[in-house]
């Protein structure tokens, strides 16, 4: 995704503009709808390689990692073999206790489950009697699986050989139990060789990230004043692409996640149960009504949102963000990204700056799933009485999720879809940290030590509840680390354990050494 390439150097010179042609509005929301356009007004470009590399050398700890790497791999497998599917409440309590027990075993003076209105959180505190304190965000839950889609059972955590080398295939391998347990392995290694950590640690974990973190604020509530004393927040994360080039994300988009439902009622359609399909001649169909309601939200290609005012809060990139974007474009290999995602083209045949700026700054509206009626084998001719869809909207900075939901509600009402029910399932705003933060500099310095100077992105277009740290607690956050994995939320999720010969991807041992160095770099103020 971030491999060095000269391919895109020609796509921008000093100024470039991302724009879209006006799109006709077939639903009468007010003429043509145009997605926002952006102009880069600076030639400056950020290059993380210009920062000095971390110079520390923790030989004894590195040797301990090498000597115990089989046991450390076993720790990853132990975590990954424990299901923790939050959507199904599968193994959640057991995984929470496993994390709590592991923290206790590492010498955390506080290691406890934190009750919430949903799945429990986990709190841990390690007192190193150090000058600086680091908060670590962990998520112990994972997405559901369809085992028949996997080449290796998703909760057996088997080692498999593929083009990347020896990989560990399991749900949660890269998102996020694999890198998180690698971080704890690094802590174990420091403690075994040095007796204590270079910084105090606060671990604040949740088991509902894949549900949209609806109860994570309750965990923050319990420790808020102590958390404010931290220097910043680390989210262990596999940051290398398949070619070994690294990226660092300084933030995330926000999210609005909701269900839409159509059911028979006073507007028409069967009210109590499905009926024979022949009655469609005289009875309205809730499935079709839901489809029409969804279709009204966007242009026919699904790419321009027709909800009035949905783009109003879009802001252009700041000067700092423009400098980061120039740096990304100098090295971004979008062909590699397409290959990784198994897609042939971006929408509107965008390339380069157009695609990147849309990815980072446009809100989205996406149907995650839709169902109703009979979907089994063979034939069953019915007119269903209910249909449901799950929808998500990724939101750039300055967007309020509840305000966007209100706009969707108003749009549906104006189009005569008052009967379409909307149920909000999750919502939170975006988050971002400045590239000037000392924690960011420390992380970059360690990347540079390992010749993996990262592309630094203003944000990831995915979502996480990091606003709790950057907005509520006003702390910088870094998500990052060496290592490569892929398949998050998809079949055959993996993390590289031993990279293929000639690969620049870090294996498990180097991943752990990165985290060792990061803690010391932060302690030293790098």
Whole-number Å distance between alpha carbons of 126 and 110:
7
Whole-number Å distance between alpha carbons of 160 and 173:
13
Q: What is the DSSP letter of 466?
A: T
Domains of the chain: 50-250+433-524 (3.40.630.10), 253-314+363-430 (3.30.70.360)
Q: Please state whether the peptide bond connecting residue 176 to the residue before it is cis, i.e. omega within 30 degrees of 0.
A: yes
End-to-end CA distance of the chain: 28
**CA dihedral angle for residue 358, residue 359, residue 360, residue 364, rounded to 10 degrees:** 90
pLDDT at 212: 87
pLDDT at 2: 39
- pLDDT tens-place string over residues 384-439: 999 999 999 999 999 999 999 999 999 999 999 999 999 999 999 999 999 999 99
pLDDT top residue among 418 and 39: 418
Span 209-219, average pLDDT: 94
Alpha helices in 134-259 (DSSP H): 177-194, 216-227
Can you tell me which residue has the tokens 């010391």? Answer: 520
pLDDT at 341: 84
pLDDT top residue among 21 and 271: 271
Whole-number Å distance between alpha carbons of 230 and 200:
9
Choose among 178, 196, 179: nearest CA to 187: 196
Token pair for residue 284?
């309205």
Sign of CA dihedral 110, 112, 117, 118: positive
Provide the 3-class DSSP secondary structure of residue 175.
coil
pLDDT at 33: 82
- pLDDT tens-place string over residues 139-160: 999 999 999 999 999 999 999 9
Whole-number Å distance between alpha carbons of 386 and 158:
41
Token pair for residue 131?
């000058």
Q: 496 near 165, Cβ under 8 Å?
A: yes
Whole-number Å distance between alpha carbons of 217 and 230:
17
Is it the case that residue 23 has pLDDT exceeding 80? Answer: no
**Residues above pLDDT 90, as percent of the chain:** 88
Mean pLDDT of the chain: 93
Whole-number Å distance between alpha carbons of 238 and 246:
9
pLDDT top residue among 23 and 296: 296
Can you tell me which residue has the tokens 């790098």? Answer: 526
pLDDT at 20: 40
Pair type for strands 38-39 and 17-18: antiparallel
pLDDT at 339: 87
Is it the case that residue 189 has pLDDT exceeding 80? Answer: yes
Residue 312: which residues within 8 A CB-CB, separation 6 or more?
Answer: none
Residue 203: which residues within 8 A CB-CB, separation 6 or more?
Answer: 103, 108, 122, 123, 124, 125, 135, 136, 138
Is it the case that residue 314 has pLDDT exceeding 70? Answer: yes
Is it the case that residue 382 has pLDDT exceeding 70? Answer: yes
Whole-number Å distance between alpha carbons of 215 and 190:
33
Residue 494: which residues within 8 A CB-CB, separation 6 or more?
Answer: 160, 162, 164, 167, 168, 169, 170, 173, 174, 485, 486, 487
Span 485-490, average pLDDT: 94
pLDDT top residue among 493 and 33: 493
pLDDT at 398: 96
pLDDT at 81: 98
Q: 283 near 484, Cβ under 8 Å?
A: no
Dump strand ranges (E) for 396-516: 421-428, 431-432, 455-457, 460-463, 477-480, 485-486, 494-499
pLDDT at 498: 98
């Amino acid at each position: 995704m971030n491999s060095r390439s000269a391919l895109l150097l020609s796509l921008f010179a000093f100024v470039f503009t991302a724009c879209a042609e006006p799109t006709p509005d077939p639903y009468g929301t007010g003429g043509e709808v145009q997605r926002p356009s952006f102009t880069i007004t600076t030639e400056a470009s950020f290059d993380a390689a210009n920062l000095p590399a971390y110079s520390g050398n923790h030989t004894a700890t590195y040797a301990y990692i090498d000597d115990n790497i089989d046991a450390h791999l076993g720790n990853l497998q132990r975590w990954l073999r424990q299901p923790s599917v939050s959507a199904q409440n599968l193994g959640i309590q057991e995984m929470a206790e496993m994390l709590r027990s592991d923290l206790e075993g590492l010498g955390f003076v506080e290691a406890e489950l934190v009750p919430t209105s949903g799945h429990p959180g986990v709190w841990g505190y390690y007192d190193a009697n150090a000058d600086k304190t680091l908060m670590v965000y962990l998520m112990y839950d994972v997405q559901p699986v369809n085992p028949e889609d996997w080449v290796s059972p998703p909760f057996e955590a088997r080692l498999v050989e593929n083009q990347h080398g020896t990989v560990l295939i399991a749900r949660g391998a890269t998102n996020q139990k694999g890198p998180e347990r690698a971080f704890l392995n690094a802590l174990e290694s420091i403690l075994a060789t040095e007796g204590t950590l270079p910084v105090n640690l606060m671990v604040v974990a949740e088991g509902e990230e894949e549900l949209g973190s609806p109860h994570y604020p309750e965990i923050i509530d319990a420790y808020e004043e102590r958390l404010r004393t931290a220097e910043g927040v680390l989210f262990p994360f596999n940051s290398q692409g398949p070619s070994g080039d690294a990226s660092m994300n300084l933030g995330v988009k926000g999210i609005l996640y909701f269900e839409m439902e159509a059911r028979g009622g006073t507007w028409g359609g069967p009210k109590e149960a499905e009926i024979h399909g022949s009655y469609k001649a005289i009875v309205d169909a809730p499935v079709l009504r839901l489809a029409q309601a969804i279709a009204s939200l966007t242009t026919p290609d699904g790419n321009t949102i027709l909800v009035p005012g949905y783009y109003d809060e879009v802001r252009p990139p700041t000067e700092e963000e423009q400098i980061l974007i120039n740096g990304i474009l100098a090295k971004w290999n979008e062909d590699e990204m397409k290959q990784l995602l198994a897609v042939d083209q971006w929408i509107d045949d965008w390339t380069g700056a157009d695609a990147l700026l849309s990815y980072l700054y446009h809100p989205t509206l996406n149907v995650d799933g839709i169902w109703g009626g009979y979907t089994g084998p063979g034939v069953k001719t019915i007119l269903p009485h209910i249909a449901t869809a799950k929808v998500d909207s990724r939101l750039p900075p300055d967007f309020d999720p509840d305000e966007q939901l209100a706009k969707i509600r108003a749009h549906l009402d104006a189009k005569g879809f008052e009967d379409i029910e909307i149920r909000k399932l999750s919502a939170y705003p975006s988050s971002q940290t400045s590239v000037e933060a000392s924690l960011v500099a420390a992380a970059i310095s360690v990347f540079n030590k390992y010749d993996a100077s990262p592309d630094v992105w203003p944000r990831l277009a995915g979502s996480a509840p990091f606003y709790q740290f950057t907005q509520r607690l006003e702390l910088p956050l870094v998500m990052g680390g060496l290592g490569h994995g892929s398949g998050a939320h998809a079949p055959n999720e993996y993390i590289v354990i031993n990279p293929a010969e000639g690969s620049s991807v870090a294996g498990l041992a180097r991943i752990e050494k990165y985290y060792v160095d990061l803690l010391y770099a932060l302690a030293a103020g790098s």
